[in-house]
Structure 1
């Protein structure tokens, strides 16, 4: 095949397709990590599960642990987008209803038990823990920008920065607590309710402040 530039071969992948491949690799990595552990999982196995070579896996990710990053960051993106849309004057905890929980679960991809198992692995796998914490660290500025936009404040205003730090820590603690106590027999409906309830409770606690 000849491309418009005169070169032969496959046409370059679009950014959307690259994102799809990254997510496919992430989901395959999660399934393998949960099934057989991180140490026993190889780049070749991850690639085979997706139908690509190990070389392709390493082209998208620097390590096997980093393969799960799209699943962690997808949920953060959903929350940041909702924060930007949330109207001032409405309680922030109301943001986390069942519809947002559904969006979060859909964005991360694996079914509930697998997603919870992945978060539980961050407790015992240092490599996954580093990716998990780094994702939240990078999410904080996104939350701050969203909160500043919502309040009509400059992006570098101290208030949304502090609010974002509180929100970030509360969300991570809520998700970890929920995952570490998860019951694999739960239905999807129960899981969505639990996710929404945990996130709402976290924001209520944040709103109460430190006494």
Structure 2
């Protein structure tokens, strides 16, 4: 008996259409917020992937399609600011210091969504005591440093593995991490995030000087 199944063409006959990158970003961010809420309320060790999925009304199988572990679910909350910094490094003009460039380009957004800022603060605080989250935090910065080096190298016309490029990328990376951790430790009422980042990068700018060729 001949098959009655209609041959597929493109996305026809394959169920729901592919998810857009924008939609994937939204889902990943929702998962990150749910994970931080649960980690904060009941601890990382007591939280399972099933718990995070249930909080969002998705299957655990769907959750694991986005993230390989429960700790990695928080990654989107840690990468946004570093991605923005990488963009600003690529557009950094030679006549400006990095702090001045960031201030001019409004790269440091003090009006960030309150929920995202609160989740980020809670998350960074937990990296102090939760080894799994600390590993994600440090890995995010390690990967960001590679991107920073490429951006700085392009600006200076140097190879990305040049010593002066790698040291500057590492210094910027550490300044951002220390500023974020200080902000999380002290809270929003004591110092603002933008001010802390500018102050930290001014230290880097004063200490390194021009990029050596």
Tell me the TM-score normalised to structure 1 length.
0.83
Q: Is the 8 A contact 1:43 1:64 kept in 2?
A: yes
Residues 137 and 8 of structure 1, relative CA distance in 2, 3 Å threshold? closer
Shift of 1:87: 1.1
Q: How does 1:13-162 map to 2 (within 5 A)?
A: 13-97=19-103, 99-102=106-109, 105=112, 110-162=115-167
Aligned length: 200
In structure 1, the residue matched to 2:193 is 195
Cα shift at 1:16: 3.3
Distance between the aligned counterparts of 1:150 and 1:103, measured in 2? 27
Structure 1 range deviating more: 140-149 or 124-133: 140-149
Distance in 2 of aligned mates of 1:43 and 1:105 = 28
Unaligned runs of 5+ in 2: 1-5, 209-213
List 4+ stretches of structure 1 deviating above 6 A.
none
Q: Higher relative contact order by CA 8 Å / sep ≥ 6: 1 or 2? A: 1
Q: Write out per-residue CA displacement over residues 172-192 of structure 1, whole angstroms, 9 at most, x where no aligned residue.
A: 111111111115xx4xxx86x
- Residues 78, 104 of structure 1: 8 Å contact kept: no
TM-score, length of structure 2 as denominator length:
0.83
Mark the structure with the bigger radius of gyration: 2
Please tell me the root mean square deviation across aligned C-alpha atoms, in Å: 2.5
Give the stretch that moved more between structures: 71-80 or 87-96. 87-96
